[in-house]
Structure 1
């Protein structure tokens, strides 16, 4: 698969996208907080023969605008809508991991006519969590940046495919390997998640939905149970032995779930 680098600009904010091209039904991939579009490469390669796959560096991340100013949930959603519009993506399936999944959920809720289906990977409506910004700040503060070598970064992030996936989001400059984001932007991006409840948005999603959870991920069982209670037609799968980075830990398992789900989704559909 050969990516084409595409740029979408909304209100002066530059968004970098990787586009597989092709005539297939579109799939849009959204990474999580502090992530990057390249995390999806293993999944995208396998989807691309049958689908037009677009992986987005969301605002504040990767090759996109590093300090966009507005990092509200509404800004992230409006970016997705701009990507669909400017790249001509009709009725895509939105696939998002973690914060990217939250963005995908909000987009599907606010713009039901634009989205064919929704896949949440280790993501859900969540709820108020005042300690969340401090936890994220502490997590990012623990990164020993700059990493002296790329191999050191891979090891810090756990080695294997997960370590490689996270290290691929770094850039080499000024004597080491650095994140392609600013910590304060990441913390601010979660400000609304720390204080708001999004269960009403979850109830407004009307398209077919697949929720993929890691057995040892971050979505509490009570949240998953409520998701299914509020929208019982949601398909939900827990992947044994997987954590939060399901797409990096077990891409083949995730790919199988995605492929089956995509094959059964009608081109346009609604559900209660």
Structure 2
């Protein structure tokens, strides 16, 4: 899919823009890119104006210096919306993209028609998680990104899909190889120091969509479904692990369409 570029906050951000209707921003996860959403985009573009960026350090976007905090990446998305003359949008974030979405909801609630977490969580890293981030940073610096991805990619999928969906698994690996190694390290640091944002979920004044994969090996469903309320829609993807946009794209797309139709 053809990508465009915008200079946002001094950083070149690549993005896909397709379709018409309710503005919907789709944010990918760590070591992903807008290509993660390629199965979902055709299912949504008839009803939505999709803006699907590569986050800084990922895909075709630039990899500037400094730690990529969730707040910094949220400002990238806020700036991209302004550049695209999009005053309000539904922002849905996968994993890392969900952390960015929560930071955006905290800092710029006025820009959101609604928002959602897909295989993501409002909880911060615990001490074990922080240790894991440091270990990942060391692996990338000392052994290279491909070695790190060999450990990461199989965890993105429900175990059965490693055998039944080899093309999707390989696609995720190839997308991961497109990540800047320096950008990956800077993003890991940003994820490691992120704060608890359950209060953002609880206090949201707009509808919230929470989507979890029943077989997610990275973020258990109960960590996604940390808050409930009248403004929150919770969806479990029975056949998915951590990559519902590749494992069960039609079911995920329908959940997004049902959510946006109610706005």
The TM-score with structure 1 as length reference comes to 0.79
Q: Between Structure 1 and Structure 2, which shows a larger proportion of helix residues? A: 2
1:78-122, CA deviations, whole angstroms, 9 ceiling, x for partnerless residues? 000011100112321111100001111221222111111112110
Query: In structure 2, the residue corresponding to 1:18 is in which secondary structure?
Result: strand
Q: Which residue of 1 aligns with 2:4?
A: 6
* Residues 257 and 23 of structure 1: CA distance in aligned 2, closer, same or farther (over 3 Å): closer
Structure 1 unaligned regions, length at least 5: 148-156, 171-178, 266-272
Query: Residue 31 in 1 paired to residue 28 in 2?
Result: yes
Separation in 1, partners of 2:185, 2:109: 29
The TM-score with structure 2 as length reference comes to 0.81
Query: In structure 2, the residue corresponding to 1:206 is in which secondary structure?
Result: coil
Separation in 1, partners of 2:139, 2:253: 29
Contact persistence 2:206–2:231 (CA under 8 A): no
Mean Cα deviation higher: 79-88 or 118-127: 118-127
Report which of the two structures shows the higher radius of gyration computed on alpha carbons.
1
Mean Cα deviation higher: 212-221 or 115-124: 212-221
* Residues 71 and 54 of structure 1: CA distance in aligned 2, closer, same or farther (over 3 Å): same
1:49-75, CA deviations, whole angstroms, 9 ceiling, x for partnerless residues? 121111100000010003443411111
Separation in 2, partners of 1:168, 1:83: 26
Separation in 1, partners of 2:259, 2:235: 11
The aligned runs of 1:1-272 (5 Å cut-off) are 5-20=3-18, 22-129=19-126, 130-137=130-137, 143-144=146-147, 158=162, 159-169=165-175, 179-195=177-193, 196-217=195-216, 218-228=218-228, 231=229, 233-265=231-263
Separation in 2, partners of 1:11, 1:225: 33
Contact persistence 1:36–1:57 (CA under 8 A): yes
Contact persistence 2:68–2:190 (CA under 8 A): no
Query: In structure 1, the residue corresponding to 2:6 is in which secondary structure?
Result: strand
Contact persistence 1:108–1:207 (CA under 8 A): no
Q: CA RMSD in A?
A: 2.7
* Residues 137 and 162 of structure 1: CA distance in aligned 2, closer, same or farther (over 3 Å): farther
Structure 2 unaligned regions, length at least 5: 151-160
Query: In structure 2, the residue corresponding to 1:237 is in which secondary structure?
Result: strand
Contact persistence 1:161–1:249 (CA under 8 A): no
Contact persistence 2:11–2:64 (CA under 8 A): no
Q: Which residue of 1 aligns with 2:155?
A: none
